[in-house]
Amino acid sequence: MLRVDLHLHSTASDGRFSPAELIHKAVDEGLTVISLTDHDTVDGVAPALEAARAFPQLRLIPGVEISTYISEGEVHILGYFIDYIDGSLQASLEQMRNSRWERAQKMVAKLNKLGCPIEWERVQEIAGSGAIGRPHIAQALIEKGYIESFKEAFTKYIGRDGPAYVERYKITPAGAVELVIQAKGLPVLAHPLTVPEPERIATELKAVGLIGIEAYYAAYTAEDVERLVSMANRHSLITTGGTDFHGLDNNVEMSIGGVDIPEESLKNLLALARQARLKPAST
């Protein structure tokens, strides 16, 4: 039986474990196919591939999770089998990461005004070499004793409706789909039930190249999965899945490989990847 997790984060963005450590965890859990999909960065892909060379039983798919914005909220696009050294992809992702830095500074300033002072230098230390994200701010808040969990940080302060929330630069969902395709990747709508009107969004994005939706996801019930699989079938989209593992909070987070993903879903993704490689370049 294949064990699969196609949605994982490392210290290259806002995960707890380095790319190499993540590879070792995947092997320890008996996974056979994984994808590293850090937020708005592919910096972890090369070291993950290097670490995976020691484990021929594990297949690593180069990936990314791109943050995008519509008026009703955020939409995330997963890219699989991307050319992670593509110059246009890296330039666009760098612009997004720079906006994360500016946004995090503004959020720290807001928290200070709200009576929860944290040091910007400490947030940078927590992030290390990775792209700064809200989980790093949450960790700083926990260390100061202002809150007890990552969930509380988002609910009380830094979630979308929180008093310290700050918007940042994002491309549109269609722009992210096109960016993934330009990098020779396969674009998939991440955790669709966090998206307003997911069927409308999926339909619109299919018109520009979306190939699937993430129907199997850590927080989804059997009824959720059934609804999303039916939606995918109606629009001739494939289904993928993953845990969205960050390794930050064992109390609320599913462990790596914890989502049951049908083998057929992986086969469909691999088949599309083979087709994309065989397709002649457009002139």
| Mean per-residue pLDDT of the chain | 93
Residues 70 and 122 in one domain: no
Residues 110 and 181 in one domain: no
Residues 129 and 254 in one domain: no
Residue 163 in domain: no
Type of residue numbered 222: A
Q: Taking 90 as the threshold, does the pLDDT of residue 225 lie above it?
A: yes
pLDDT tens sequence across 134-188: 999 999 999 999 999 999 999 999 998 899 999 877 799 999 999 999 999 999 9
Domain that holds residue 247: 4-93+171-278
Domain CATH number, residue 119: 1.10.150.650
Cα distance between residue 217 and residue 7, in whole Å: 9
Residues 240 and 130 in one domain: no
Measured in Å, how far apart are the chain's first and last C-alpha atoms? 42
Whether 100 contacts 131, CB under 8 Å:
yes
Residues 76 and 205 in one domain: yes
Residues 207 and 263 in one domain: yes
User: In total, how many domains does the chain have?
Assistant: 2
Predicted pLDDT of residue 281: 44
The kind and range of the H/E element at 180 are helix 173-182
Q: What percent of the chain has pLDDT over 90?
A: 81
Predicted pLDDT of residue 252: 77
Predicted pLDDT of residue 100: 81
222-246 mean pLDDT: 97
pLDDT tens sequence across 53-94: 999 999 999 999 999 988 888 899 999 999 999 999 999 999
Whether 209 contacts 173, CB under 8 Å:
no
Q: Which two tokens stand for residue 211?
A: 């190939």
Residue 283 in domain: no
The kind and range of the H/E element at 203 are helix 198-206
Type of residue numbered 110: K
Nearest to 123, CA basis, from 112, 114, 111, 132:
132
Q: What percent of the chain has pLDDT over 70?
A: 98
Q: Taking 70 as the threshold, does the pLDDT of residue 279 lie above it?
A: no
Nearest to 187, CA basis, from 195, 179, 199:
179
Residue 261 in domain: yes
Cα distance between residue 204 and residue 52, in whole Å: 36
Residues 180 and 271 in one domain: yes
Residue 108 in domain: yes
